[in-house]
Structure 1
Amino acid sequence: MISTHQRLNHGLLGLLVCSLIVVLIYVSTNLTTYTAFHTRRESISAESASRNFYEGGMDHTNPQKGFDGIVDDPFHDSTYYNDKAFVTVVTDSNMIDAARVSVYSLQNISKTRANIMVIMAFNETFSSDASHDDYEQFATNNVQLLKVSPGYDPISEALSRFRKVVYFSNEILFKKNVDHYFSYPTHTILEDNNHNIGLRIYDNHSSKKEDASTPAPPPVFTSTSFPLSDEEIFWFNGPMKPWDFFQYHDMDWHKLYRPSAFYKWRSLYDDITVPSSSANGWSNQDRRKSICVSASENNGPLAAITTTDELIQDRFSVLLSTYKPERIQHLTLLIRHLLKSTLIDKIFITWHNPDLDVPPSLLENIDEAEERVRVLRQSFDSLNNRFNPVDQIQTEAVYILDDDVFLDINDLEFTFRVWQQPNNKNSIVGHFPRIHQYNSETHEAVYKVSNKDIYSMILTKSMFVRKEYLFAYTCLLDLGMHQDIDNWLNCEDIAFNLMVSGMTGAPMVAVTPQSPLLDFGTQNGISTNQAHMGGRGQCVSHFITKYWKEKDPLVVSSSAAIPYSRPEIRRGTWNKIEQQLRIYKDRSKITKL
């Protein structure tokens, strides 16, 4: 018979055995899970890698919230990122600005908790002895700057300092938090069809002789896109870039033009480079931001970017600029004249003077004023307002007109039909041609009225352009050009011509109207000032030298469009032909002398 004491001992022993079994099961389960996690990482697909990572607790619907929900994850504790870094390599001084924006987006949009390293890999064309003051700015704001001499592998240098790195191209702009990239297997890669690498994972077990441009050894998995990368980054790997789109100079520009993404890049660049208005004395510094981004992106020019197929093709809009109070009484006449055209969708009056109220009498007694006329008040006084994007414009073509120019309706509609020709839609089509010359060696330039049979620019006093060009000029060009124009009170039309030819490679198209073209501003307008005219050549020189890197984008043209009329035909005589040949011969002798 078993005593009470023995029963108690047996019970305690049984409890101990049960507890031990539970512990063993728990340990076995966790060890199995831990091993399986690493086994999966060795053979996992791109999509599964992303899914398994997010199952750890991160809210993948909003990665910018960070990793507060997975503080118990041993891979993401407070010290997890100490030996990890995002690394980019700069090998060309022309890519410094791109790299700065890429790093800035990683810090301020992605809000990474990892280290950031920028490696300057000097070479024959990118020398540490040259003047590259901009790259010193990388050394601030918690960014490590490393300068590597020729012959040293940048990635190996980074791996000597960190256990794991995520290489990213200078062309990457981060849209969300991407710290989860460190959980991806080594050699996970994002590359395009030309084998350019946008992102790649390295650790210090990789070959020390590898770099971002060498072929990878057999990877754990290779993908043409990281999991969810389209949602997390912009990769400007095409031939047209946001920092130099106006230098592309090719007719296929429209296939590569990404206005919304380009503006994301440009707005970040402005944040980095543009000081406060109180610091630089430029009162219009905030003009671009106020125009290109509204309080909500559900409205405004940025949200109103539409494809060509969505725009009205068979009518056009008018952007009519006005400033001087003494011209207001004539503005009503001009509006009434323009409304006679059934091809005009709407007229938008750009009211340049922020200190002058719009008189109520302006649109009185104008038929269809409520339906077809809009007044656009401006908060800033700038010649650049002439090209502001307008979200209410629903046509592909925009006719830009000064308030001192009068064009016959038949000639206006003919000019629109000229612009509608497929070969002309990339061009500026208008009525005031000008010619220029630029010397890339001396940087000297000449600007003058075209009295001969060639021209390279069309004044913006009367011209047809694509709607897209308004957004490109206002929201994507280097802000320094806008500031130059405000300082000079001049040359916005030259900058616009340079941008259009620089982006498209298209020549301008001059149109000769049948009826006289009336210009009421030839005596009192801004362009009659001698200082204004004298500075035009300096504008051409400055813009091409600084922003187009001494490569003149303007295309000289010798053709013009004119309305067809039946040619005059006379009965000819061969004697007159002989006389004409003698005249040609005499001219040839004079030319040789």
Structure 2
Amino acid sequence: MSTIIGIRDAGPTGAVASAIAAADMNGGIYSPAKEKAAARGVYTGRSQLVRRLRSLVCAAKLKLVVCVVIFSVVVLVTSSRLSSVMGWVPPHPNPNTSSRGGGYTVLMNTWKRSSALKQSIGHYASCGGVEAIHVVWTDSEPPSESMKYHLEKMAFSKSQAAKKPNFKFSMSQDDDLNNRFKPIQDLRSDAIFSVDDDVKVPCSTLDFAFTVWQSAPNTMIGFVPRMHWLDKEKSGVEKYTYGGWWSVWWMGTYSLLLPKAAFFHRNYLNLYTNNMPSSIRDYVTRERNCEDIAMSLLVANATGAPPIWVKGKTYEIGSSGMSSMKRHSKRRNKCLNDFISLFGRMPLVSTNVKAVDTRLEWFW
């Protein structure tokens, strides 16, 4: 007796069944090849879309990682080469340490602006690097004793340093702009920060500029750049044009700094008073203008190098002063050309270098 064992075909399931059903509905013929393709998901639109999206996401992640790595490398390389780009090596000394004394002397020029003078003295006295404040009084009428006492007391009370700044007034018999650059006796520092009484520079910015000056103490370091360019030459005589801030902004270069907010070495006070041609000082006395251009020419003539402009905000108290007067640009042009004639040469050197405190820059 034989037994017949019947085997039931379970039939295709899942994706295979779907493929067969689709083939039957379309009048197609089912085949094993189609069955394998259906098993791999070739005929499943949803699986194909998911697989495509996954590949795109993986590619995007890979590109993002590569971009992050490249950006990090660029930042590190740029940071390591900052000193060569800037043209000077930025040191990191404590602003309270230097070769002579601990910091710098604020040399403040004032003229009939008692309110601005009080604000400026209170501000600069609070800066940690200030060793002394020397006020050059250019008014023909001397300040009252009560005013001097009040200003000195305020300078001491505003100071945050353990050693209070030395505070002095300098008065002259004559009303002469050259007086702002007279030599100062008993200085405790080599660095002079020359500033007008209506200009305020934040203490952190000022301390950074001082470190720049320490890296190049023979150069003028400051915040107010100006420029010059050769306008024309006729019969062997060169005529130059003096450019203000907007010229610097447009051209991207500068060749002098105004000592209304600038560092320079104390030796230049002696050079200005005793070694510069007296014809230039006489010119400043007569015209009552351009002593700042004369000092810039003096420093450039002594160094043969350009100044260094420090990026930083400065704030003016009250009116903008003489620069807002009519015919100011023409007078500055005349001063520049007359001084060059008296010097006998053009000492100014143009540059586009700017010192920047990268700790305050999120991207550079």
- Note if 1:417 corresponds to 2:211: yes
Contact 1:405–1:521 at 8 Å: present in 2 too? no
Partner of residue 347, structure 1: 133
Separation (CA, whole Å) in 1 of partners of 2:179 and 2:360: 42
Q: Secondary structure at the match of 1:348?
A: strand
Contact 2:104–2:193 at 8 Å: present in 1 too? yes
TM-score, normalised via structure 2 length:
0.65
Separation (CA, whole Å) in 2 of partners of 1:552 and 1:345: 35
What does the per-residue CA deviation read over 1:259-306, in whole Å, with 9 as the maximum and x for residues that have no partner? xxxxxxxxxxxxxxxxxxxxxxxxxxxxxxxxxxxxxxxxxxxxxxxx
Q: Secondary structure at the match of 1:394?
A: coil
Partner of residue 498, structure 1: 297
Match of 1:512 among 292, 303, 311: 311
Partner of residue 430, structure 1: 222
Match of 2:254 among 455, 462, 465: 455
Opposite residue 291 of structure 2, the aligned amino acid is E
Separation (CA, whole Å) in 1 of partners of 2:261 and 2:155: 24
How many Å apart are 1:447 and its aligned residue? 0.4
- Note if 1:374 corresponds to 2:168: yes
Instruction: Describe how 1:25-64 pairs up with structure 2 within 5 A.
Output: none
Separation (CA, whole Å) in 2 of partners of 1:448 and 1:467: 27
Instruction: Describe how 1:75-474 pairs up with structure 2 within 5 A.
Output: 312=100, 314-324=102-112, 327-358=113-144, 360-364=146-150, 365-368=153-156, 372-421=166-215, 424-438=216-230, 441-449=236-244, 450-451=248-249, 452-474=251-273
Opposite residue 517 of structure 1, the aligned amino acid is T
How many Å apart are 1:467 and its aligned residue? 0.4
How many Å apart are 1:367 and its aligned residue? 5.0
Partner of residue 557, structure 1: 351
How many Å apart are 1:522 and its aligned residue? 4.5
Q: Secondary structure at the match of 1:376?
A: strand
- Distance of aligned partners of 1:472 and 1:521 in 2 relative to their CA distance in 1, 3 Å threshold: farther
- Distance of aligned partners of 1:493 and 1:566 in 2 relative to their CA distance in 1, 3 Å threshold: closer
How many Å apart are 1:487 and its aligned residue? 1.4
How many Å apart are 1:544 and its aligned residue? 1.1
Separation (CA, whole Å) in 2 of partners of 1:517 and 1:567: 17
Separation (CA, whole Å) in 2 of partners of 1:399 and 1:565: 23
What does the per-residue CA deviation read over 1:214-269, in whole Å, with 9 as the maximum and x for residues that have no partner? xxxxxxxxxxxxxxxxxxxxxxxxxxxxxxxxxxxxxxxxxxxxxxxxxxxxxxxx
Higher-RCO chain (CA-CA 8 Å, sequence separation at least 6)? 2
What does the per-residue CA deviation read over 1:154-175, in whole Å, with 9 as the maximum and x for residues that have no partner? xxxxxxxxxxxxxxxxxxxxxx
How many Å apart are 1:460 and its aligned residue? 1.1
Separation (CA, whole Å) in 1 of partners of 2:337 and 2:288: 16
- Distance of aligned partners of 1:333 and 1:468 in 2 relative to their CA distance in 1, 3 Å threshold: same
Opposite residue 405 of structure 1, the aligned amino acid is V
Q: Secondary structure at the match of 1:353?
A: coil
Separation (CA, whole Å) in 2 of partners of 1:566 and 1:344: 22
How many Å apart are 1:371 and its aligned residue? 5.5
Opposite residue 154 of structure 2, the aligned amino acid is I
Separation (CA, whole Å) in 1 of partners of 2:139 and 2:99: 30
Match of 2:329 among 533, 550, 573: 533
Separation (CA, whole Å) in 2 of partners of 1:371 and 1:528: 34
How many Å apart are 1:317 and its aligned residue? 0.7
Contact 1:383–1:486 at 8 Å: present in 2 too? yes
- Distance of aligned partners of 1:539 and 1:367 in 2 relative to their CA distance in 1, 3 Å threshold: closer
Separation (CA, whole Å) in 1 of partners of 2:271 and 2:322: 25
Contact 2:142–2:171 at 8 Å: present in 1 too? no
Contact 1:509–1:561 at 8 Å: present in 2 too? yes
- Distance of aligned partners of 1:509 and 1:358 in 2 relative to their CA distance in 1, 3 Å threshold: farther
| Percent identity (aligned) | 27
Q: Secondary structure at the match of 2:126?
A: coil
Contact 1:319–1:348 at 8 Å: present in 2 too? yes
User: Would you identify which runs of 4 or more consecutive aligned residues in structure 1 move more than 4 Å?
Assistant: 566-569
Separation (CA, whole Å) in 2 of partners of 1:344 and 1:568: 29
How many Å apart are 1:389 and its aligned residue? 0.6
Contact 1:321–1:401 at 8 Å: present in 2 too? yes
Separation (CA, whole Å) in 2 of partners of 1:503 and 1:358: 39
Opposite residue 534 of structure 1, the aligned amino acid is K
Separation (CA, whole Å) in 1 of partners of 2:315 and 2:336: 27
Contact 2:130–2:165 at 8 Å: present in 1 too? no
Separation (CA, whole Å) in 1 of partners of 2:361 and 2:108: 36
What does the per-residue CA deviation read over 1:462-500, in whole Å, with 9 as the maximum and x for residues that have no partner? 000000000000111111111111111111111111111
How many Å apart are 1:383 and its aligned residue? 0.8
Contact 1:329–1:362 at 8 Å: present in 2 too? no
Separation (CA, whole Å) in 2 of partners of 1:412 and 1:495: 23
TM-score, normalised via structure 1 length:
0.40
Separation (CA, whole Å) in 2 of partners of 1:343 and 1:552: 35
What count of residue pairs does the alignment treat as equivalent? Answer: 251
What does the per-residue CA deviation read over 1:133-158, in whole Å, with 9 as the maximum and x for residues that have no partner? xxxxxxxxxxxxxxxxxxxxxxxxxx
Which has the larger share of helix? 2
Measured on the aligned residues, the alpha-carbon RMSD in Å equals 2.1
Q: Secondary structure at the match of 1:368?
A: helix
